[in-house]
Structure 1
């Protein structure tokens, strides 16, 4: 039976060209070092002892790799060959192996770092089942259809404010790397208030900053949102020039007109990128007659749909139809 060692053991490994005192400390993973493992994956300075059969079952990349016989003089560690995986991080591989070797039958929604790591590695090593699941979660939470948008964070864990900038920067970089562009408009829209303050100044994370491509896209889009004004769902329905409220069927036009006009200053605070995604709030129509409320809500949703249709262009992306055509299967 496989088991975890009580403490990971470290060893020194000399790198090519190193002097005698220039070695790298190699550590065994605390979570993924199995005594019955028959392959060791080395990622950065961490080694994972796992099973060839399990990796091959999930990944065609590893399945093909294992068909190539090892050189006779290949050095072994505790009888196991060592496969070095350059370009990956040990943290990413810990998340992936957590999914391959789960300790729980049903797990809560994954965090953004987990989704990013599993998506990137499953794309790199061709692990279709895991890639499909991560893509499903991202499509569901950052959809291309306004009707499908849901702000409940049921597919991915919502990051805390303390780590949200770092996590979103990580996620958008991964999404662009694997080419899942169809989720970018909605993802960018959610990110803008996290990365820019009310004055349009970029808020830098002390641990991870945005790529310049993403930073420029968010900056340009934030300026476009600021210029929406009368197109904003919150402003449009109560503007006197729009003649939406009072409606034709209103039994008390003067009162409803006055209430809508007085709401304008209050609703102006909702002029943010996330207003495109937020549902109607009943407090906005307090005091209006039933007919005006119905018309106002319909006008609000129509304005949202109109902005949603243009959303990709805010970030210099192709339209929704083109993004969907380039989406994963």
Structure 2
């Protein structure tokens, strides 16, 4: 597959039968996958050209419909039968490939495929769908992202079992801003705060460009990181500082071991307390408290879940964003 290249401005030209682009001074590199001999339109992105069918694009996108209705520059009556329209797009060739995977050669959108889709493809669908007004190409991928960056605590707990590379949280924040999907922001921004290195640099997309947070969202992360740490410390003190459960039959022993474990956490003997992760599971910590009775262990597990549910409800405030309907099922 051809290498992705820098973007160019959008314009409409004509191409002769030999593949020579009029006005460009040379040939572009044909894409190996999306070059149909009977294609009706040539799309050029960077120096990669695709020969595809205009019908599916026109069918699903009013933007493409308007674009392809423009007159062809360079075509006249004498050459009309051998000239194909060529549209120059500013998109990444990689993004276009992901779009064409769904739309070519059928006029009907194909299913989105496997439940597990890589971030590059989801992001490309959303960017292409937003730009070219293909609503289904925005909404279904956004719903898939909501399974990893939800606005509901129970869904969030379930999402911890599914891995989503943390660096891609930067891209999710940008996609949420692009589409005004604000419900994605609290969890995505919190995940950005937990990136140990490279937050300001961002990550490199498959097309070679860099995905970075805006200055405003970087500032949100810098300000929220300390609040997340404070929330985690407060959570630990609240959970372990209250002592044994009321139903405990060895309250003095259990209380003593809870306090000893809390002291080791706050002193740093047990690492990981002062991190921006107030919603990380506490099961391993609870199990690590030596000689704790089963009654207190169960009470701590229940309290941990309830306290973190409260934290989740306050997450937009902690992260500095407003989200209508946050926490609703």
Q: TM-score, normalised by structure 1?
A: 0.76
Q: Structure 2 vs 1, CA of residues 323 and 223 (structure 1 numbering), >3 Å: closer, same or farther?
A: same
2:261 partner SS? helix
- Give the aligned partner of residue 294 of structure 2: 290
Which of 123, 131, 152 in structure 2 is aligned with 1:124? 131
How far off is 1:312 after superposition? 1.0
Conservation of the 8 A alpha-carbon contact between 1:182 and 1:323? no
1:306 corresponds to 2:310: yes
| Number of the residue aligned with 2:189 | 188
**Structure 1 residues 229 and 129, CA gap change in structure 2 (3 angstroms):** closer
Matched with 2:238 is 236
Q: Would you say 1:273 and 2:276 are equivalent positions?
A: yes
2:275, 2:22 → 1: CA distance? 53
Cα distance, 1:122 vs structure 2 = 0.5
Q: TM-score, normalised by structure 2?
A: 0.76
Which residue number corresponds to residue 257 of structure 2? 259
1:29 alignment partner, SS class = strand
Name 1:140's counterpart in structure 2.
147
Higher RCO structure (Cα 8 Å, ≥6 apart):
2
Aligned partners of 1:41 and 1:82 also within 8 Å? yes
User: Any residues of structure 2 matched to 1:7-22 within 5 Å, and which?
Assistant: 14=23
Aligned length, in residue pairs? 293
Q: Deviations over 1:231-271 (max 9, x none)?
A: 32x442111xxx2x311111001111122112212466244
Q: Equivalences for 1:26-105 in 2 at 5 Å?
A: 26-66=28-68, 68=69, 70-71=71-72, 73-74=74-75, 79-86=83-90, 88-101=91-104
Aligned to 1:204: 201
Which consecutive residues of structure 1, in runs of 5 or more, have no partner in the other structure?
16-22, 325-329
How many angstroms apart in 2 are the aligned matches of 1:63 and 1:225?
48
Report how far residue 51 of structure 1 moved.
0.8
Return the offset for 1:73.
Answer: 4.7
Which deviations, in whole Å up to 9, do the C-alpha atoms of 1:153-176 show, x marking residues without a partner? 75xx733xxxx53x4333322321
CA contact (8 A) 1:111 1:158 kept: no
> Any idea what SS the aligned residue of 2:154 has?
helix
Which of 310-319 and 276-285 deviates more?
276-285
Give the equivalent residue in structure 1 for 2:6: none
Distance 1:104 1:322, change over 3 A: closer
Sort the Cα spacing of 1:107 and 1:301 in 2 relative to 1 into closer, same or farther, 3 A: closer
- Tell me the secondary structure at the aligned position of residue 30 of structure 1: strand
5+ long unaligned stretches in structure 2: 3-17, 205-209
